[in-house]
Amino acid sequence: MEFLYKVRYAETDQMGVVHHANYLLYLEQARIEWLENKDIKYNELEKEGIMLPVYKIEIEYKKPLVFGESVKVQVQCSKAPDVKIGFDYKLLNPCDEVVAEAKVILVFMSAQTRKPIRCPKHVFEILTA
């Protein structure tokens, strides 16, 4: 699945290039929208006492993104979830050149105990259907 975002001026540094930390915002937004497209909503998970903190992030920057461009974010779940859920990303500029590739791993965690838990059954069933 892919999502398109406009690069905003506030996301760039003095050189007019998207600051490296802002790529995380694109990844997170695409992941949330990807889950919502599968009818899995973050706020509903949180109401159920399930949190999804980031465990690991890897980003390889290949080309700069600049103000005024759009960034296309392609995201997919990397494997069936268990205690962890992983996502693979490709970010492309308007010429469809890969500007970055990323991997993000989240952990299903109980909000009460702050300990890892298995992927909730209803989420697992949706993601493995």
Question: What's the per-residue H, E or C state across the chain?
Answer: CEEEEECCHHHECCCCEECHHHHHHHHHHHHHHHHHHCCCCHHHHHHCCEECCEEEEEEEECCCCECCCEEEEEEEECCCCCCEEEEEEEEECCCCCEEEEEEEEEECEECCCCCECCCCHHHHHHHHC
Q: What is the pLDDT of residues 14-27, one digit of tens each?
A: 999 999 999 999 99
Active site residue 13: yes
Q: What is the pLDDT of residues 74-123, one digit of tens each?
A: 999 998 899 999 999 999 999 999 999 999 999 999 999 999 999 999 99
- Closest to 88 in 3D by CA, of 75, 72, 98: 75
**CA 24 to CA 7: how far, in whole Å?**
13
Query: 13, 39, 82, 88: which one is catalytic?
Result: 13
Q: Work out the pLDDT band at 55, boundaries 50, 70, 90.
A: very high
The CATH number that domain 2-128 falls under is 3.10.129.10
pTM exceeds 0.85: yes
